[in-house]
Structure 1
Amino acid sequence: MIIHLDLDCFFASCERLLDPSLAGKPIAVGGRGDPFIFAPTSRRNIDVTLENSGAFVPTLFYDAQAGFDDYFVEGGRVRGIVITSSYEARAFGVKTGMTIREALRLCPRMIVRPPNHLFYHDRSHTLKQWLQKRIPVLEQYSVDEFFGDVGGWIPDRKVEAFCHTLRREIESTFGLPITIGAAPSKWIAKLATGAAKPSAGNGVKVIFPETVDNFVNPLPIDAFPGIGRGFSKRLKAYKIETLGDLKAAKHLLYRWKKPGIQLYHRVNGDDNEPVVAGRDRRSIGISRTIDPVFDRNEIRRRLIILCRHLAHLVGKIDAHPHTIFLGIKYQFGQKSKRSVTERFTFSELTLRRRVLELFDTIDIYRSLAIVRLGISCGNFAVKPVTEGSLLTYAADLKAQKLWQQTAIVRKKYGIDTIRSAVEMI
């Protein structure tokens, strides 16, 4: 059997660890797209962490360490969206992704806290280490979700008791409420977790092989993890409303090639996808959504800042990337992206040069404002790259040594400790 563990209202629960007086009150943690990373003044409470892994685990965080007005109010307006909310707030209709202003209209008494991401990730990493001693194969899916394979270790008939014990131990040891689902496959286990949530169940839901169809078939397609808005709309156009309908439409899903075939077998519970304890990191990226910016010099300044943070991440894992990617999004939804692959001596300076060159190449809608920037490094070499242009190799090597020395200082005192002059303009 495979189990899926989902920490309930994780960020809100962590805030209650920091402030026990919040227990039982409607609370929410909000975010603002991290405008502070681009501030000309130094922010010592920006940091990166690679301790947690998973497809939905970011690496760069800003710990607000501020009050509501300092973080959420700008120009007399309340800015930001709800990242997560407690069940008390959800009872008023508060949802993730809702603007803070709308959420406060629904629940005026709700307490909204700025995020403390580094604390959340510290709790997640500590829990992960604890779980690794109790579950043979553990995979971190996100900062607040884990998969575990207990097959051959816990007999199927004892899985439910094991999950209840594990749940009680986590709540008593860490003070974090958690829900656990169990099933023969990963995605049915994740689906079971939804049925075990406090709003619907008692915290644990086990689906045995002989009960998979009875559990899955009546559920609406939107309940299944991985069926997004676009795929849902596509399925409903064929009158597929429930997961049972989807399972009966094998011929249709197979016509949609890999995405459709994968979804069909996940819903059927026979995908045989393993729980993977660790994956090699293939790329590292950083992206930010921003208020519309027309000034291209300001965009270049922000790209330089993103390069500084991304280079720090690359240095933390001692990676040697061959590929650099840049993507931009414009105010009306237009997008432009491109990557470059070459052998070069990596440093913050060489990364910056290539990103700015890419920007000059792909900025094809120069009359439009830009609302999102994203850069990433990938295609990592097994060992340090010594190839490159003979004309620039000596200078690149010098830049790399300087970057490595600044990384030592930044690791001790913060990423903003050493910055380029252009960043502070």
Structure 2
Amino acid sequence: MDAVKNRANIIFHIDMNSFYASVEIAHHPELKGKPLAIAGKVEDRRGIVVTSSYEARARGVKTTMPVWEAKRHCPELIVKQPNFPLYRETSRQLFQLLREVTPLVQKVSIDEGYMDVTEVAPKIHPVQLAKSIQQKVLDTLKVPSSIGIAPNKFLAKMASDMKKPLGITVLRKRDIQTKLWPLPVGDMHGIGSKTEDKLKRIGIHTIGDLAKSDKADIAQRFGLYGERLYQRANGIDNRIVDPEAEETFKSISQSTTLSEDTTSVAVVRQTLSILAEKIAERMRKKKVSAYQVTLSIRYHDWKNISRGQTVKQPIQTKDDIMIKVMPIFHEHWDGRPIRLLGITVQSFEELGQASKQLDLFSYEIDLRHEPLINTINQIESKFGEGIIGSAANYKKGNRQGEGHD
């Protein structure tokens, strides 16, 4: 009994390699072995690379690079627009496969997740289990993956990043000094560019430097976020694999009964704007974006209608919501006096992982967020990255995106 109690956890982190590009290749085998980029508005100079195949990366193509620049690096580059419904369906199938191995699966984004295989491991060696999972995913979905094996989530995540594509890496606590500590501090999961710069300014250049630093000093400079980074650098992470984390909530809704029935479009717009602002704030706190939006209308005679839309671009802000709900309103309102209005968003994805298609239509909107991001950066430079969690995720989503693999 004591042996079972003291047995170390065995955590897998599975990370799909160049997910969007790999899914496209799986469905279009003629693209295999060719430089491929997934980008928004491929015909426009403002099209941005979301991710690319390893053949394209070898030619200098990088995530967030403008298409024109990517083609300058790689003239024979094949560029395709994202097919988000296909990617989400492939992701659904992926996690269904993982749950056939163990119910202890936590999805953290469209293309990565954790598995707690502690109870499965006595029946099969962890490396053999990882190989079988990797091969099954490859055979079934035709998409490559990398798997990190470790006693906790942080080390498993770091391990999966160490060998790509089709890598399997074991990172034990006894390996930390030789495998983890020599890495640049900027390679550490959870550290963004601002924190990296600040750590370097105080002489911390590697993960080992952080692990061997003065804990009290790091806590004073970075707060609780700094304490957490210090623990991670020393291989400490007590978070569990939580299968219910993704399903904590399924939708976010806001509605209001008007002070009096109205047929004024201006009143409707103002009311929906207030509701959209409240929903965007709740999404910000939960650090998610959404792929479905629904407008509800109750007329003066208490008759209700609800009309929704599934979108390819992740909805994140009040403006995103308003751009979707106002056309729905104009299309479906029949002119009768309105008593109640409501908005619901659902089909969530973690904000830091949502791969927003930066194209002609969203590029200028995204640029308008820059003053906010700059302000957030200044706050984080003083108080530590992570002090404003969702904004940090937004920033790092632009910096890292789906194409980090």
Task: Give the match for residue 371 of structure 1.
Answer: none
Deviation of 1:160 after TM superposition, in Å, equals 1.2
Amino acid at match of 2:240: P
Do residues 86 (structure 1) and 53 (structure 2) align? yes
Task: Give the match for residue 175 of structure 1.
Answer: 142
Aligned mates of 1:417, 1:344 — CA distance in 2: 18
Q: Kindly indicate whether the alpha-carbon contact (under 8 Å) linking 1:188 and 1:267 is maintained by their aligned counterparts in 2.
A: no
Aligned mates of 1:191, 1:241 — CA distance in 2: 17
Task: Give the match for residue 210 of structure 1.
Answer: 174
User: What is the percentage of aligned positions where both structures have the same residue?
Assistant: 32
Q: Kindly indicate whether the alpha-carbon contact (under 8 Å) linking 2:11 and 2:151 is maintained by their aligned counterparts in 1.
A: yes
Where in structure 2 are the equivalents of 1:322-401 lying within 5 Å?
352-356=269-273, 375-377=280-282, 401=303
Do residues 24 (structure 1) and 28 (structure 2) align? no
**Which one of 107, 126, 131 corresponds to residue 140 of structure 1?**
107
Structure 2 unmatched runs, 5+: 1-9, 259-264, 286-296, 311-323, 333-405
Task: Give the match for residue 73 of structure 1.
Answer: 43
| Structure of higher RCO (CA pairs closer than 8 Å, 6+ residues apart) | 2
Amino acid at match of 1:19: H
Do residues 402 (structure 1) and 402 (structure 2) align? no
Task: Give the match for residue 153 of structure 1.
Answer: 120
Aligned mates of 2:59, 2:79 — CA distance in 1: 14
Task: Give the match for residue 260 of structure 1.
Answer: 226
Amino acid at match of 1:251: A
Deviation of 1:187 after TM superposition, in Å, equals 1.3
Aligned mates of 1:26, 1:11 — CA distance in 2: 13
Distance 1:353 1:178, change over 3 A: same
Deviation of 1:88 after TM superposition, in Å, equals 0.3
Provide, for residues 60-92 of structure 1, a one-character-per-residue CA deviation record: whole Å limited to 9, x for no partner. Answer: xxxxxxxxxxx4334xxx221110000000001
Aligned mates of 1:132, 1:379 — CA distance in 2: 29
Amino acid at match of 1:266: R
Provide, for residues 270-302 of structure 1, a one-character-per-residue CA deviation record: whole Å limited to 9, x for no partner. Answer: 12011111226678xxxxxxxxxxxxxxxxxxx
Aligned mates of 2:147, 2:210 — CA distance in 1: 25
Task: Give the match for residue 274 of structure 1.
Answer: 240
Task: Give the match for residue 328 of structure 2.
Answer: 419
Per the normalisation by structure 1, the TM-score is 0.61
Distance 1:21 1:355, change over 3 A: same
Amino acid at match of 2:280: I
Moved more, 235-244 or 250-259: 250-259
Task: Give the match for residue 204 of structure 2.
Answer: 240
Deviation of 1:344 after TM superposition, in Å, equals 5.7
* 2:162 counterpart SS class: helix
Distance 1:253 1:417, change over 3 A: closer
* 1:141 counterpart SS class: strand
Q: Kindly indicate whether the alpha-carbon contact (under 8 Å) linking 1:27 and 1:112 is maintained by their aligned counterparts in 2.
A: yes
Task: Give the match for residue 194 of structure 2.
Answer: 230
Distance 1:19 1:261, change over 3 A: same
* 1:73 counterpart SS class: coil
Amino acid at match of 1:206: V
Structure 1 unmatched runs, 5+: 32-70, 284-316, 323-342, 363-373, 381-394
Aligned mates of 2:203, 2:302 — CA distance in 1: 58
Aligned length: 291
Deviation of 1:258 after TM superposition, in Å, equals 1.2
* 1:94 counterpart SS class: coil
Aligned mates of 2:272, 2:129 — CA distance in 1: 50
